Amino acid sequence: MAVTGVPFDQAVTNRSGTRLGPRAIREASLLQPCDAPYGWGYDVLSEFAIADYGDLAFDYANVPAFPATLEAHAKGILEQGAAMVTLGGDHSITLPLLKAHAAKYGPLSVIQFDAHTDTWADDDFDRIDHGTFMYKAVKLGLVDPTRSVQIGIRTDNPDTLGFHILDARAVHGQGPEAIVAQAKAIVGDHPVYLSFDIDALDPAFAPGTGTPVWGGLTSHQAAVMLRGLAGIDLKGGDVVEVSPPFDTTGATAIAGAHVATELLCLWGWTRR
């Protein structure tokens, strides 16, 4: 397993700063290796070979070349037989990552934790935008929306493209255990890519992000759902949109570090 950082934030619609996300998440993760992750019953960091693969090197002044650079970076990792968890960066980075994973595994189920669906229509496939990447992923055949689920949504976008949406209100009303059971039923045994936008959490828990929306998930709800997803066929994942300049406490990066650890645990669960 390779953990890699992508310090890119030139596709945001509001506040920048997520280029500093990988560094902050790594710093916040310093306590993570000291004990086995709580509630899993095994220590993924001890039982598997997990390497920090460093950050993607790219020309910050050549933005149009960035997606292909990231896709090649991801393919290089996957071709070695390794899996990857990626630290963002803004959410646009997920599209090149999905391209690399779909090239190896075929069309994927996606579990997306987010305040936004990111399926706004955009048929200019040369544009890089953190709000349209999932639209393009569906149109390119990388993702099967009928076997995918978006959790925590709380912004309006009428065209869901067929995604199952379990919005924030459903999480609060039904409880995280019921939501995760529905999510597992939707993806079944299909290969899964999990993308966690930190703005899925309410700004009270993750203020350091570019497009915060009130009424979001609590840290507890996210932890229960991530742990409850054990058993899915996770092929890869990312945690994105951590923007340290907007959180002097570091709480958002701490949340991002915990999400990244849970992704490692989910990946290792079916491979022990």
| Rounded CA separation 58/8 (Å) | 9
Would you say 123 is a known binding-site residue? no
Would you say 199 is a known binding-site residue? yes
Please report the beta strands in the chain, taking only residues with DSSP state E, as ranges in sequence order: 2-6, 51-55, 84-88, 109-113, 149-151, 164-166, 191-197, 233-240
Would you say 172 is a known binding-site residue? no
Would you say 73 is a known binding-site residue? no
Would you say 118 is a known binding-site residue? yes
Amino acid at 51: A
Would you say 101 is a known binding-site residue? no
| Per-residue burial over 91-111, b = 16 or more CB atoms within 10 Å of its CB, e = otherwise | bbbbbbbbbbbbeebebbbbb
* Whether the Cβ atoms of residue 108 and residue 193 lie closer than 8 Å to each other: yes
| Rounded CA separation 147/62 (Å) | 35
| Rounded CA separation 102/124 (Å) | 21
Tokens of 187: 């993806």
Sequence ranges of the binding site for Mn(2+) = 91, 114, 116, 118, 197, 199
Sequence ranges of the binding site = 91, 114, 116, 118, 197, 199
